[in-house]
Amino acid sequence: MEVRIMENAFEISKEVSSILINKVKENPHAVLGFATGASPVETYKRMIEAFEKGEVSFKNVTTFNLDEYCGLTHEDENSYYWFMKENLFGKVDIDYEKVNFLSGDEAKSEKSCREYSEKISQAGGIDIQLLGIGTNGHIGFNEPADSFSDGPFKVRLTSSTISSNSKYFVNKKMPEYALTMGIGDIMRARRIVLIATGEGKADAVFKMIKGEVSPSCPASVLQNHNDVIVYLDKESAKLL
Ligand code: PGA
C-alpha cells in the first residue's frame, strides 16, 4: 500500500485526477470505478476542468459506481446516480450507455446485484477504482462485519454511516439500506486509489493501514491488494 500525505484536498485532487485522466489518455476505453460522497468531489472538478480545456474525452469510458441507496431511483436528487450526474457525468462527454449503477429501484435491485459482477467482468474488469473510507472503515457500503463480502449485496447501514450521511438528506429520511459492490468486486480492480481527508477519518485510516486485516475494518483488506495508493491530508494521517 503506497501512502501519500498531501497538504490539502486540492493537492490530492490534482494528483488523483491526473491518475484517472492519464489512464483515459492511455486507453480511451478504460473502465473506471467511481465513488460518491465528499471525498472525490474535488477530483471530479479537476476532471471537468481538463475536459473543458479539451485535454481529455470520456466518451468511450465505461464506469461502474460503488453503491446506491435502496428505494431511490435515478431521478431522486438524493440518489448517488443523481450525485454523479451533478458532480461529473452531466459536465463531461460521458456516454450514459456505458454508465453502470446498482439499481436503487426496489423492483430492479436484486437483479442488478446478481448481474453487476458479471457486467464488470464483461467490460474487462475495472482499471482504476476510486474509493473513500467511512469513519467506521467501510469502503463502498461494506460496513464492519464478520466476514468479507464478495459480490454486490443489500446492506443495512450502520448508525455511524447514517449519522455521517443523513446531513445530505434535506427533505427526506435517509434510507437504512443500500446496495454495494462487494469487497471481492473492489479487490478485483487492477488499481485502487483511496482518498481520505479530515481528522474524523484518522482512526479509520490508522486501522486500514496499520491494523490487522479484518472485516471489522473493511478497508484493511486493501493491505492485501498489490496496487493501492492512499491519498491523505495531514489531519487524516495524524495517527500514523
Ligand atoms: P465521504 O464518505 O467521502 O463523504 O467522507 C466516504 C465514505 O463513506 O466512503
7-47 per-position pLDDT tens digit: 999 999 999 999 999 999 999 999 999 999 999 999 999 99
Give the mutation target among 164, 168, 192, 217 for probing the ligand 1 site: most ligand atoms within 8 A of CB. 164
pLDDT digits (tens, 9 = 90+) for 140-169: 999 999 999 999 999 999 999 999 999 999
For the CA of 39, the nearest atom of ligand 1: 3
The C-alpha R_g of the chain, in whole angstroms, comes to 17
pLDDT digits (tens, 9 = 90+) for 102-138: 999 989 999 999 999 999 999 999 999 999 999 999 9
For the CA of 138, the nearest atom of ligand 1: 9
Distance (Å, rounded) from C-alpha 18 to C-alpha 158?
Answer: 34
Q: Is 208 in the pocket of ligand 1 (CB under 6 A)?
A: no
Q: Is 84 in the pocket of ligand 1 (CB under 6 A)?
A: no
Give the pLDDT band (50/70/90) at residue 175: very high
Q: Select which of 87, 136, 142, 165 is catalytic.
A: 136
Give the pLDDT band (50/70/90) at residue 171: confident
Kindly report the pTM of this predicted structure: 0.97
